[in-house]
Amino acid sequence: KSSLLATLIPRNIRLSEAPSHGKPIFLYDNRSKGADSYIELAREIIARSKKPAAKSTLETSETAS
């Protein structure tokens, strides 16, 4: 299973402008594609954190000995 996240954060003007205005994207333009992407990323991370973790290779080899 891949440890990479599937959500992509696209480059867009509003996302680039937010830091120069001293605001997070959610205060600067919460309806932008960039804000939507960060919400989707958060949902993906939360969903992954609720799944049981697979045993690591180290744990598996230690119990086999």
Residue 16: both structure tokens together: 């680039």
Domain that holds residue 13: 9-50
Higher-pLDDT residue of 16 and 57 is 16
Considering its fold, how many domains does the chain have in total? 1
- What is the per-residue pLDDT across 21-61, written as a single tens digit (0 to 9) for each? 999 999 999 999 999 999 999 999 999 999 876 666 666 55
Residue 3 confidence class, pLDDT cut points 50, 70, 90:
confident
Amino acid at residue number 55: K
Is 2 within 8 Å of 35 (Cβ atoms)?
no
Helix 13-20, helix 33-50: angle, nearest 10? 90
d(CA 41, CA 29): 17
What local confidence, expressed as pLDDT, does residue 57 receive? 61
Angle, CA 2 vertex, CA 24 and CA 9 arms, to 5°: 25
- Residue 62 counted as domain residue: no
Query: What pTM value is reported for the model?
Result: 0.71
- Residue 63 counted as domain residue: no
- Residue 36 counted as domain residue: yes
